[in-house]
Amino acid sequence: MEFVDLKSQYRRLEASVRERMDKVLEHGRYVQGPEVVELEGRLSGFTGAAHCIACSSGTDALLMALMAKGVGPGDAVFTSPFTFIATAEAIALLGATPVFVDIDPVTLNLDPEKLAKAVDGLAGGGLRARGVIPVDLFGLPADYSRINRLAESRGLFVLADAAQSLGGSVEAGDVGGQVGNLAEMTATSFFPSKPLGCYGDGGAVFTSDDALAERLISIRSHGMRADKYEHIRLGLNGRLDTLQAAVLLAKLEIFKEELIMRETIAARYTSALSSVVECPVVPPGYRSAWAQYSVRGVEKARILAALQAEGIPTAVYYPKPLHLQEAFAYLGYQKGDLPEAERASSFIFSLPMHPYLSEMDQDRVIRVIQDAAGGKI
Ligand SMILES: *Cc1c(COP(=O)(O)O)cnc(C)c1O
């Protein structure tokens, strides 16, 4: 059993992946080739965002979006402590200050009420509140209806970290649409194990703001103007390889179907396991991309040991929240500052989740957990 099975997907797509990659090898435009432009068009159509700017990774997507907003020293950017380090790293790399806001204990995403308190409580701290990066953890979109409204009332930008949630959607409150079109800017990742993954590193930024899109395109290639050796700002080498775009075009053909396959597995896990562990909750109107199926249980150690003994792969996302990581020690957070994130990290673990997980394998996972679990948290 695989935690994320990329081989079965490759077997299924082998012919079309090879055909598309062969085309790139024939035309030879390895950087910014026609497949990149085609992919951007397809993804913009898929999400409903006016612009898709493909780039070299999810981390660079976050970095480029923050650079497009001119984020730098003296700026505070609010985000979740319960995420992969890249989210806050991008803020700190630009000399700005990540301000961690605790999560909602049910969805595990940024808590909009605590966000409002943190933004209003910043006054007098010598920092300027600039923006917020909600994270769609494990594929579930954050509460963009409330976060967008709050951000608008305080003059903040919203950059969605949708590295795990491309394919998800929301129809709730005053927000409706696909991930990629729920916030002013959205960053996603095509790392191989993400719901839409390539065969290496890749990412994209989505926006419907024409001026931001123009800046993002310039930042992606060393801050150039349309004329290649005119540089009007500093940028990155942040381009997506044409070969990776070719792989993604082949995978996009079956992406919608794969999302449904993930949903079916998640529903099966939940119906069998919700009486013994805390299962993921998808609020009404939300659709998760199910990058991970993560549960919480007091018997975490015992369950993980039982699964391991049966040869069932698991993972822990994330064992230590970002505010307690050594890299962010300079921010001065203490244990106990963000209790929900700390609590989640101590009880959480993730089960095998990919579209090709057979019912037999799902049943094995379920049986081992039912036998090992002693009760809910
Ligand atoms: C994977 C991930 C990233 C970084 O994406 P890369 O493509 O690996 O750079 C950022 N944020 C979150 C939440 C992620 O899961």
Q: What is the DSSP string of 53-92?
A: EEES-HHHHHHHHHHHTT--TTEEEEE-SSS-THHHHHHH
Provide the b/e sequence for 278-306 (b: ≥16 CB within 10 Å).
bbbebeeebbbbbbbbbbbbbbbeebbeb
Instruction: Give distance in angstroms: CA of 227 to centre of ligand 1.
Output: 32
Query: Within 6 Å (CB) of ligand 1, which residues are found?
Result: 57-59, 83-84, 86-87, 135, 161, 163-164, 189, 191, 201, 203
Long-range contact list for 271-276, CB < 8 A, 24+ apart? 272/366, 272/370, 273/366, 273/369, 273/370, 275/376, 276/369, 276/370, 276/373, 276/375, 276/376
Q: Measured in angstroms, how far is the CA atom of residue 165 from the centroid of ligand 1?
A: 11
Nearest atom (ligand 1) to Cα of 57: 7
pLDDT for 377 equals 47
Q: What is the pLDDT of residues 42-55, one digit of tens each?
A: 999 999 999 999 99
Pocket test for ligand 1, best of 137, 140, 189 (most atoms within 8 A of CB): 189
pLDDT number for residue 173:
84
Q: Ligand 1 centre and the CA of 137: distance in Å?
A: 11
Q: What is the per-residue pLDDT for 375? A: 52
Q: Largest Cα–Cα distance in the chain?
A: 65
Residue 177 is inside which H or E element, if any? strand 175-178
Atom 2 of ligand 1, residue of closest alpha carbon:
163
Full-model pTM: 0.97
Using DSSP, state whether 185 is helix, strand or coil.
strand
Q: Are 113 and 103 in contact (CB under 8 A)?
A: no
* pLDDT given at position 374: 64
Burial 158-183 (b: 16+ CB within 10 A, else e): bbbbbbbbbbbbbebeebeebbbbbb
Residue 189 CA to ligand 1 centre (angstroms): 6
374 CA distance to ligand 1 middle (Å) = 33
What does the pLDDT read at residue 115? 98
Give me ligand 1 centre to Cα 87, in Å: 7
Nearest CA owner, ligand 1 atom 10? 86
Specify the pLDDT at position 141: 98
Nearest to 293 by CA among 256, 265, 322: 265
Blockwise average pLDDT, block size 10, the chain, 377 residues: 95 98 98 97 98 98 98 98 98 98 98 97 88 98 97 98 98 92 98 98 98 98 88 96 98 98 98 96 98 95 96 97 98 97 97 98 96 69
Ligand 1 atom closest to the Cα of residue 135 is 13
Query: How much distance in Å is there from the Cα of 85 to the middle of ligand 1?
Result: 8
